[in-house]
Structure 1
Amino acid sequence: MNRSTSRRIVLAGNVIADVVIEIPALPERGGDVVGTRTVTTAGGGFNTLVAARRLGAEAVHAGLHGTRPHGDLVRAAVAAEDIGTLLPARADGGTGFTVALVDSGGERTFVTSFGAEATLAPADMAAVGAQLRPGDLVQLSGYGLALPGNGPLLSGLTAAVPADSILCFDCFDPRPLVADIPESVLAPVLARTDWLSANARDARIMTGHEDPRTAAAALGQRLAPGAGALVRADRDGCRPAAPGQQPVHVPGFPVTAVDGNGAGDAHVGAFLALLGQGFDALTAARGADAAVALSVTRRGPATAPDRAELAVFLAGDPLAGQLA
């Protein structure tokens, strides 16, 4: 597919630093533990942007970014992936970070300290709104909406999204953060959402349904007519419910996973990139499943494949030829 026909992916969310510390096990309250390995990388919405960019989509970050070492790290990582930014660096504060404690069983425990990215002002949203283009694919995350200051401003940004653009709402981890989003903030987003993406846990919490297919249908009912919902179920693939259709099972790909960090982000980024390049929702979902399967076989936070790698992984699948 011609890259020039691809829609632009705009992340109206946070790109922060991830400080990942591998530990034998979580300590008891008041205890201590020695980490066995530590790495600091760009994280948050960066993973989504990378997944989209590597599949040929133009990708831009529309959130705030600060100064100091974490801000410099984020900007260097964004520039290295040829990802653009819509807002200048803030000189009055540093970029925030997440400490991810990863135990020997692979379970992750997160603690986030937000920085400049959590201090959006009306002028920032006005600047982003003025730079949105017809046809953009705009992504909002529940994390951003849950912040007391950012939430109302990001919700208000939906009014500036062009009518022919696609708004994707990714409701990561609705409890405890996203469960606290005021209805006045969430309602305008859901009313404008064209695609809602959630992992199986999020979907279960939001709908009360254990079955991903039933949950996808229930999520779709919360959206405006013409919108679609997708529930991700890790190695079991995903259940997209395209606008006006019942959810279907798009199978996953059997692989030996070594690192699932950022898998959900990779799925969203790949899905949006392929959707923006003219693929139908089911094909885009299958490509996203494949991108995630390949990414979790690699260690690191931003391990999504490029088009050539994805085509090789999908050898024999009709989608492989279309990626060339």
Structure 2
Amino acid sequence: MAIQWFPGHMTSARRKAAETMEFTDVIIEVLDARAPEASCNPMIRELREHRQRPCLKILNKIDLADPATTQEWLDYYNKQEGVKAVALSCKSATDAARVPKLCHPLAPHRDSPHKPLRLMIMGIPNVGKSTLMNMLLKRRVANVGDEPAVTKSQQCHKINDHMTLTDSPGLMWPKIEYEEDGFILAAIHAIGRNAVIEEEIAEHLATNLLARYPERITERFGFSVEGMDGYGVVEAVAKKRGCILKGRGGELDIEKAAMILLTEYRAGKLGRISLESPSSREAMIKYALENPVKPRVHSLRGEPDEQDE
């Protein structure tokens, strides 16, 4: 199943972002540290490269990601021209306070009341943009929720006499090129629940965990994963947590078990887990190019759920 999710308001949001970028000095792109490149919108890269704008890439939610893998991603991004990458938690006031200082070297010619440094926060839904905005301004100006796409319009604010900050809605792109990215984005909850089949997302997440962190499944749920595939893990979770459909002769409630696995992964209850590394992504892309398929597409262009931008 190829997952596509491009709610209607994102078309106008992209157009507005392109217009605003002309009057922006530095782009702050917030990524999910568990899947930095999967959560990197190619449209944002195209827009900022067209305008030749430098970018501060923030790998957020580091408390949920594998520290060693996060360092690999920092090394990867910091080799790119016009890019500075940093890993932090947007929920931390101390971490958020570092952001303006990190932006100054990217546009040193803008640092006065007459020429304030103009920043714009961008990223896909539910990576923590609104949380960062609130922390930087030290007040609640952007809504934060538990479902994708809370922010639906741009907001511009003054940080101080030398700096302004524009928030933008979470931006997806019209077509997710790699099927793997769709599953990863759904697993980290960057795609609305009404656009996916959660049992399939949980099965794919379990397959990823079996390949990268099999011991975390055993530690959390208390069963051996030897010889299991992804669906077998979801079944075992159902048995272990008593997910039984009433009046169905003991039939397992796979949907409920899938939500348990997804919810506990997203909350960090399985530990600090990254779903991709630079090397695994390179291998994934190589495989996808060598094995092209025409997948069945599950697409939604309606209204999104509510979530932390």
Q: TM-score, normalised by structure 1?
A: 0.28
Higher relative contact order (CA 8 A, sep 6+): 2
Between Structure 1 and Structure 2, which shows a larger proportion of strand residues?
A: 1
User: Considering only CA atoms, is the larger Rg found in Structure 1 or Structure 2?
Assistant: 2
Please give the TM-score of this superposition, normalised by the length of structure 2. Answer: 0.29
